[in-house]
Structure 1
């Protein structure tokens, strides 16, 4: 069990590093724009969000590759790729170089998001999985809240380039821990190693595992694996429903991240460093949401499983999505109208915290539901959902300045809140009543 929790914390650390990088330059956009003479608002926001665009692409091949070569080797090599290009961002001399290096580092940085859920699925039984997924799910959401706080003070006291140097140093430390303490967890890969060892010891080349396909070549295996996320996204209603809702929530988070500096610097007149402290409200919301979800998710699962004659179902992860789907719009309404009225700074922060708490509860329920539903192909299922999620995370900040200019914070966030209600309320009921029958018709789902 100690090894399982060690894997959980190391993977969560991997998953924290990359999102910190994604948002750390948010308070530094003004400095970057001044140095590279960027005058277009969309181009300035793109230096922030292009990193998240890479999140949409990386998991589509990294997730499936982890189901061929194993979780750990793909995770560690991808992290080294991220480390190299993230360091390169600190030495960029033009806006084009910065965007290119940010995109490439995002490809490597997407690996923990693509693989981590599958790795934890390998480690834990369904009854224990909720707590582990809660810790893992916190990292990619807490990271974007922590990043701007550090980035604000780094930019104010040194240079925006140190945002990249600092995250590179942190990544190297996490990589060292991963190298020594993270072990392979994927059952087909472990059985393959055992098969190869027994073949060598016995000389019996006919030994095989239950996952072997003797007639399938490596090229065919890779081709099928790389197509799997697209097939899941194109054919699985469960993945489609959850991917759309998750994408919307993720887009809202990055929209809020990109507009926080605008609110606190321009409207409230705070300095870069002081204004960045307001990102703590998002972190508090994420933390509180996790503390609620982690124990309750597993307790609910065990109770519902007991009532169901000891048979567990992924749908037992759904009940918490109902209150969380209400917290998201409540937080948006609170944040938007208090910001527009320019009331005391604590009020928009309370709204942001409520939104973030609702968001992470939904995220954890969705992640755990996908892992429980597509156990063997969980990395591909999460990659499929992550594709839409990351496109939204990249795209939403690009239209945020224009939306707030037209609607201001009040009606702008109200519009987003109404859409969140329309997407969030039906999802848990659809899964609860139709999830089992949809899984029964799927060749990818686990029952």
Structure 2
């Protein structure tokens, strides 16, 4: 039946509206396919591959998204034990063959200067290569760097044991130093990853026990191994030690490094008119600059701290070098007994490190609670009676020990002086190690690498000039100068304490 013209005219707009709605629905439903086709067209137009960092499957990368600082106490101290034990590799390796130097000189048919050069080479490589390891650790993670570095150290140490001439020996000593030096910077980075600032001083105290006991235990172990099995046994022992550390890292050490959160993607600013597609920005290539940690030296609190620590290590290694000669030539002790005589200084240093770390945490927490404005800054860790008392004790202990051996008093008095020297040196060293990491927690490995570079350069210089200065000045004047130099260098710490709060505000943007 035909509709009335009026009804037909009324119904046509309605039908058109229904058809329009149906077309809109079909258009909307087709949008995903349109988007997919656009994406496919984009994918065929030379896409830029996103930047990828290659990682060993199963050997690196976060075990979970959990913050490492939320690990259980048992897990944290297991990690700390591994890192502290690994930290003793380099100090033991640098001193373990001291009692065997004469035998090695005869074996390689060379002169004392050439044999001593192996120690200087090891020390200088230990100074510089932590800069590279710190940079790699901030890119690839701590665990992968540990495994790679210890493998290099293992190969270098084994080759030292089978060396047939002195050139081969010195070359592989350098390779061994490259690998074993990774803990000098990475260890501090690992600690900063897992411990809060309020716990960091105590953690650093235990972390320094390995590097401190290493120089004392090295000559003792090396002396008895050399007497029983020959000088090569020292390096086979080191090889076994490094292999055990590698296995401990492989099975027990998780990845503690967490990369910084990526920046939010920016909104598109332009669209290609022909294709209607946003231009894809080409990712920037990541360059690894091993000298990048040195950029932290532009911050005055870091550079002033490193000046003091550099002087501290210069006099520490100078004292250790002249100590061996004094107790061998003056008191006529054999190499094994001289090695045992290092224990008082090591015990004093260990005690000073533990007490200094605990004390700095206590001072920091107390000042945090007293802060009325709620503003926290790393310089809160510095100061207190133990910190400044250790600075004064350094001057007194060096002076007393130097004149005791100069006047040829009984050798036991000198060992008492060595105990107090070790204690006085280690208290500020531990506190300052925690302090510089507090300043740059996200770059703990890098700032520690700067510190390590300066102190081992100074340590190498101290070892080289020690014998000549001892002959020219004598123990009394030389060691009094050492104590006085440390006391003068402590003025840098006074400046940091005085201006540290203002500097803390200026470096917040960098952190």
- What TM-score results when the alignment is normalised by the length of structure 2? 0.78
Where does 1:1-400 land on structure 2 (aligned, <5 Å)? 1=72, 2-41=74-113, 43-188=114-259, 217-220=284-287, 222-223=288-289, 226-233=290-297, 235-309=298-372, 311-319=375-383, 320-400=386-466
CA 422–179 in structure 1, closer or farther in 2 if over 3 Å, else same: same
The answer to whether structure 1 residue 437 and structure 2 residue 509 are counterparts is no
Q: What is residue 411 of structure 1 aligned with on the other side?
A: 477
Deviation of 1:330 after TM superposition, in Å, equals 2.2
Q: Is the 8 A contact 1:374 1:444 kept in 2?
A: no
Q: Is the 8 A contact 2:153 2:177 kept in 1?
A: yes
CA 396–380 in structure 1, closer or farther in 2 if over 3 Å, else same: same
Compare 110-119 and 245-254 and name the one that shifted more: 245-254
Compare 53-62 and 27-36 and name the one that shifted more: 27-36
Deviations 1:220-242 (A, max 9, x none): 3x24xx34212112x12122111
Q: Secondary structure at the match of 1:187?
A: coil
CA 335–36 in structure 1, closer or farther in 2 if over 3 Å, else same: farther
Q: Is the 8 A contact 2:394 2:421 kept in 1?
A: yes
**Alpha-carbon distance in structure 1 between the residues aligned to 2:117 and 2:473:** 22
Compare 290-299 and 437-446 and name the one that shifted more: 437-446
Q: Is the 8 A contact 1:64 1:228 kept in 2?
A: yes
Q: Secondary structure at the match of 2:342?
A: helix
**Alpha-carbon distance in structure 2 between the residues aligned to 1:94 and 1:177:** 33
Q: Is the 8 A contact 1:332 1:355 kept in 2?
A: yes
Compare 99-108 and 88-97 and name the one that shifted more: 88-97
More helix by share: 1
Deviations 1:239-275 (A, max 9, x none): 2111121122222222233333312221111111112
**Alpha-carbon distance in structure 1 between the residues aligned to 2:141 and 2:436:** 20
**Alpha-carbon distance in structure 2 between the residues aligned to 1:299 and 1:22:** 34
CA 34–412 in structure 1, closer or farther in 2 if over 3 Å, else same: farther
Deviation of 1:428 after TM superposition, in Å, equals 2.4
**Alpha-carbon distance in structure 2 between the residues aligned to 1:389 and 1:326:** 21
Deviation of 1:216 after TM superposition, in Å, equals 5.4
Q: Is the 8 A contact 1:14 1:112 kept in 2?
A: yes
Deviations 1:339-370 (A, max 9, x none): 12221111111111111111111211111001
Which runs of no fewer than 5 residues in structure 1 stay unpaired?
193-213
**Alpha-carbon distance in structure 2 between the residues aligned to 1:70 and 1:315:** 28
**Alpha-carbon distance in structure 1 between the residues aligned to 2:319 and 2:106:** 23
Deviation of 1:423 after TM superposition, in Å, equals 0.4
Q: Secondary structure at the match of 1:269?
A: coil
- What TM-score results when the alignment is normalised by the length of structure 1? 0.89
Q: Is the 8 A contact 2:217 2:339 kept in 1?
A: no
Which runs of no fewer than 5 residues in structure 2 stay unpaired?
1-71, 263-280
Q: Is the 8 A contact 1:26 1:48 kept in 2?
A: no
Q: What is residue 492 of structure 2 aligned with on the other side?
A: 427
Q: Is the 8 A contact 1:87 1:168 kept in 2?
A: yes
Aligned pair count? 418
CA 86–218 in structure 1, closer or farther in 2 if over 3 Å, else same: farther
**Alpha-carbon distance in structure 2 between the residues aligned to 1:260 and 1:160:** 22
Computing the radius of gyration from Cα coordinates, the structure with the larger value is 2
Q: Secondary structure at the match of 2:88?
A: helix
> RMSD of aligned C-alpha atoms?
1.9
**Alpha-carbon distance in structure 2 between the residues aligned to 1:216 and 1:290:** 46
